Every structure is written in structure tokens, then in C-alpha cells.
Amino acid sequence: MSYFVEPIIIERETPGLLDYKEFNSHTELCGYYNHAIKEKGAPKLSIAIMSHQNLSSLKVCVECVLKFAEGTGFELVLMDNASEDNGGTYNFMQEVPYSRKKIIKMVDNMGPYFNAPRGWGTLWPYCTGDYILHLNDDHYITENSVQNMIKALDYDHSIGMVNPVSSNAWMMQDPQLRFETPEEMFEAAKAFNVFDPRKWEERIYVAAVAWMFRREVLPYMACPNPFGPELCYDIALRSGGYRIMLLVDTWVHHNHDYSKKESYGFTGNSAEKIRQQEYVARMASHLSFGLTLFQDICVFEKRLVLFAVPPKNEVPSLLSVDVCAGQGLLDLKNQLRKFGIFNTVCTSFSTQAKYYPLLYTIADEVIIDRIELIDSALGDRRFDYCIVGSPINFYPDFQCLLSILISKLKPGGQLLYKIKETAEPYSEGCHSVFRSN
């Protein structure tokens, strides 16, 4: 009896010994390694599309891919996520006129709560490209959008994931492009999609629409939580040393009104639905260092940083004070990008230790201490910018704190802070700026 089986042959694109090299960052080392082990013939880009009983939208999605991703040499990986349409979705995928494609057919569907992360986790390992562009069937790419995303990942290996802005997106990711017809939409997108790294925004979390990421980060995306998996992915990537960029120079169409949430299963005010919503919030918080999305993570300071002026130094030094998990500090860095400043040195001071893990992915130095000890904690260091996340008049001795922070500024440095109207509990308060002489 013979027990012979055909071996699985693994052949690298570039055979031979791998030279020892030193790199400045973990992400550069990962990139070097993953490029060296790349399978022979694997493409640079895999476009993965998952669809469930949305054939008319899927047809437009695929049409846009074949038209606007042409020339990138992509492989197309299609998943029929157990559509109950008498084989309509599967048959269409078979008929797609593209030779370099794979088709995955799921036999059963797990429903709105669990099916999306299950489908993603099944789909992505079949993608062999250096980069993976994930599309749902209602994501319509536009001219130059795919090329801009590839350029962004090529631009800096510390960027692990990019996400374009889009229509029908929350989290301040919809630039409100105006159009009446599909033709006007694609023309508006063509004019919008001009590659410009100064417009990018680094985020802790992005609402995923047409997201592209490096294949090497897949181990970080084995998400154990089906509720809010995108947040878990983003935090895992940041913890692994990668950054996440919202590309405000790139626009795609999301053919889905997210505000109705008709496909998510969370709508309704019944006692059962409310319990479900509370449970989802607790689960997402548990896998996010105990932080909540809106009270800790997505705490933006976009209006405050608008007061920042261009710095005198090419590599300015930044200090943040109590900016929660750090999005406020990222907002300041994003504002400086608009001035052409891409490198900064950041120190973050926080009075709450729970923010340390995420702050450490943003700042070069993180100090956790009581606010009364900030002067001694910072020592004789001086900064070009200081941004305070909490309203300054909420601190016990805010006048003393203001004096200390002003003393920590370099000549020409800026202090960005807020004052909350204590007589109006729901007021936004006013934004204040102090500029050192």
C-alpha cells in the first residue's frame, strides 16, 4: 500500500538567504520580512468583495472595480455569503469577465449580529496580495481611489490601514460631495481624488468603508468580538505599532444610508433591544482596554486645533494634557500636516492610567500622574504646542495650571485650551489660545 501524497510546493518570489538588517521600527522589519517571503506570482493587490442578497448593488460594485482598478494587476476574490436568491449572486460571480478571480461560496448565513466578522475572517486568508482592499457590495470605488490608497500604503510602512472618506459615513467621514446623478457623482469623485498626504487624518478608529490594509496585519485582525469588530481591529493594529489613516484626499460612494441601520438588527426601543445595545457597548469596551467609543476614544478636538498656526521649527514638540485616549493629540498632529509638518516629538500627560496603552501608540513619552505634579514631571522641557483636553476651569487650581503650562512653552509656542460655561451644563464653552512671546 502506498501512502504517497502530492506535496504542497511553496516557492518564494525572491529565493535565497535573507540578509540581516537593522530597522528603525517594528513595522519596517515586518515589511522587509513579508516582502522576502512573498509567494511567487502573488499580486500586489487583492480586492475582496463580500455580498449577501444584494445583487443589483453587487453588479455596480464589480463594474466599478473592473473600470477603476484597471492597471493595478489585482486579483479579485468574491464571496457569496449564503445568498438565498436561487443562485443569482453565485452565477453572476461566475460570469464576471475577469480571469484572475476566486469565488468563495458560504453555505449558511449566521444573521446580522455575527455574519459580517465571520465572513471577513473567512474571506481574507484567500487573498494573496501585499495589500487587501475589502469592499462590501454597496461600496463603489471611483477613479483614482484605489491608486491613492496604494500610494498611501507605499508612502509609509508604519501605516497599516487606510480608509477613504465616503458618502453615507459617520464619524465625520462624509465630506458631503454634491451630485444628482451617477455621472455627476463619478465626475465629482474624479475632481476630489487628488493625492495629497497633507489632507490625511490619523485616527484611533475609522468607520470602515472600502478599507485597504497590509496583508501582514491579518494576525491582528483575528477578531474575537463580533460586536464592533472594526474598533477591535483598529486598536489591535495600533498596539502592534501600525497607524490608521483616513484619506481625506480620496472619496468612494457608500450606497447605504447607515442612519437607518436597517440591516444591523439593533433598531427598536423594546426592553430586549435596549439590553442588546447595552451588552454590545459593554463587550466593545471590554476589548478596548475598558474604554468606551465616544467618552474615551473618539473624543475629537477638531475645532480647537483650528487655532494652531504654523510652527517655527521643522520638527515641533507637542504636549498634550488629559486628551483621553489621544485623539485630541492626533487632531493637533493632523492640523500640522496641513502645514506640511509630518514629523513631531510628542509628550502626553494624563491623570488617568487607563489611557496609557493607547496614548503610548501616539506619543513618544507618556506621563501618568496627578495634575498637581505636572510641573515637576515635565521638568525644564519646553514645547511648541500644548493642547489641553479637559476644560481648564474644571481643574481645582486652574489659574496655577495655566501659569505652569505657559511656562512650558518655547518662544512663539501656543497653548490651546477650552473654558466651559459652568452656568450652562450643556454648553460647548469657548476655545482659547495663548501664544508665547
223: confidence class by pLDDT, cuts 50, 70, 90: low
DSSP per-residue string spanning 264-333: TS----SHHHHHHHHHHHHHHHHTTTT--IIIIIS---HHHHTT----SSSS-EEEEES-TTTHHHHHHH
CA neighbor of 140 nearest in space, from 94, 194, 187, 209: 209
> How far apart are the C-alpha atoms of 47 and 133, rounded to whole Å?
5
Q: Is 433 helix (H, G, I), strand (E, B) or coil?
A: strand
The H or E element containing residue 88 is helix 88-95
In the 8-state DSSP scheme, what is residue 375? H
pLDDT at 318: 98
The predicted model gives 88-111 an average pLDDT of 93
pLDDT tens digits, residue range 162-219? Answer: 999 999 998 999 999 999 999 999 999 999 999 999 999 999 999 999 999 999 999 9
> How far apart are the C-alpha atoms of 206 and 214, rounded to whole Å?
16
> How far apart are the C-alpha atoms of 306 and 309, rounded to whole Å?
8
Give, in order, the Cα–Cα distances in Å from 280 to each of 36, 193, 268, 270, 325. Answer: 41, 36, 15, 15, 20
Q: Which of 301-310, 361-370, 376-385, 423-432 has the lowest mean pLDDT?
A: 423-432
Asked whether the CA dihedral 79, 84, 87, 89 is positive or negative, the reply is negative
- pTM value is 0.92
> How far apart are the C-alpha atoms of 385 and 196, rounded to whole Å?
24
pLDDT tens digits, residue range 16-64? Answer: 998 888 988 889 999 999 989 999 999 999 999 999 999 999 999 999 9
The predicted model gives 314-334 an average pLDDT of 97
Q: Which domains does the chain have, with CATH numbers?
A: 26-260 (3.90.550.10), 299-435 (3.40.50.150)
227: confidence class by pLDDT, cuts 50, 70, 90: low
> Please, are residues 53 and 84 in contact by the beta-carbon 8 Å criterion?
yes
pLDDT tens digits, residue range 136-156? Answer: 999 999 999 999 999 999 999
Residue 263: pLDDT over 60: no
The predicted model gives 405-429 an average pLDDT of 81
Q: Which three cell numbers stand for residue 351?
A: 491623570
